[in-house]
């Protein structure tokens, strides 16, 4: 299972939000590339990078900062936030991203998903952000009537190989992951690389996610606030049977 320490970027800074609320933001660094270097020194081999401004605006805003982080090298980076066209996907992949994440665009324009899978294959992932079992879009500002698990099954059928599933109610809260949701997703979407996001607070949760068959886990506030030591988490997940 891959560990993805998260770098969420707003206004060029590395920040964390509480339940996706832009009014409840904490700035952790004004130099996101330095954060990436620290994660790499702790043993991380992957990064999850999100342009928060881009997610709200529907177009990349912090792409230069993201490309600077990617240029650090030495890790597999997945990138999302405001990606709404094949051109944007190609630009990030050409910049060195290992995978580009479609979010709101996947819900609002499903043809983009099928086209992206056709042209970029495993270079594309879809982020499914859920609250109360429904998919949220537009930087989590709008809750749709789309059932999150049904949408994930639709993504699988369309050929999407990686789904990043976020429980918004847990994100940034340090209250623990919704393990039941990820277990259900792994069961209902066999063959899909399920990446868990939202609320992960303890290394024991990472071990449980690995054992249930999750392909990855995103760590955010827990590592920024010290609830999880990233280097210990990397070793624990690597050594877990």
| Catalytic residue positions, numbered | 8, 129
Rounded to whole angstroms, the Cα distance separating 72 from 190 reads 34
Give the CA distances from residue 128 to residues 132, 167, 208, in Å, rounded to whole numbers and listed in that order: 13, 9, 21
Burial (CB < 10 A; 0-12, 13-18, 19+), residue 23, is exposed
Residue 165 has φ and ψ, to the nearest 5°, of -105, 120
Element (H, E) at 80: strand 76-80
CB atoms within 10 A of CB 30: 12
- Tokens 């020194």 belong to residue: 41
First to last CA, the chain: 11
Are the CB atoms for 168 and 140 separated by under 8 Å?
yes
Q: Confirm if 96 and 73 have CB atoms less than 8 A apart.
A: yes
Residue with tokens 């996907």: 89
């Amino acid at each position: 299972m891959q560990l993805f320490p998260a770098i969420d970027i707003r206004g060029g800074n590395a920040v964390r939000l509480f339940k996706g609320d832009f009014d409840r933001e904490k700035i952790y660094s004004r130099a996101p590339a330095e954060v990436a270097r620290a994660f790499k020194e702790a043993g991380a081999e992957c990064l999850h990078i999100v342009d928060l401004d881009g997610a709200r605006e529907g177009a990349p805003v912090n792409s230069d900062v993201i490309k600077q982080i990617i240029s650090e090298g030495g890790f597999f980076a997945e990138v999302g936030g405001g990606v709404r066209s094949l051109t944007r996907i190609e630009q990030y992949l050409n910049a060195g991203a290992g995978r580009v994440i479609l979010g709101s665009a996947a819900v609002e324009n499903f043809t983009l998903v099928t086209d992206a899978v056709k042209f970029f294959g495993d270079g594309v992932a879809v982020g499914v952000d859920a609250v109360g079992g429904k998919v949220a879009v537009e930087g989590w500002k709008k809750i749709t009537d789309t059932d999150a698990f049904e949408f994930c099954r639709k993504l699988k059928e369309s050929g999407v190989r990686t789904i990043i599933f976020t429980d918004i109610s847990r994100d940034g809260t340090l209250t623990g992951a919704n393990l039941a949701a990820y277990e259900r997703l792994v069961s209902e979407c066999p063959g899909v690389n399920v990446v868990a996001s939202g609320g992960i607070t303890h290394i024991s949760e990472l071990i449980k996610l690995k054992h249930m068959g999750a392909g990855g886990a995103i760590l955010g506030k827990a590592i920024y606030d010290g609830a999880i030591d990233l280097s210990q988490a990397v070793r624990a997940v690597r050594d877990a049977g």
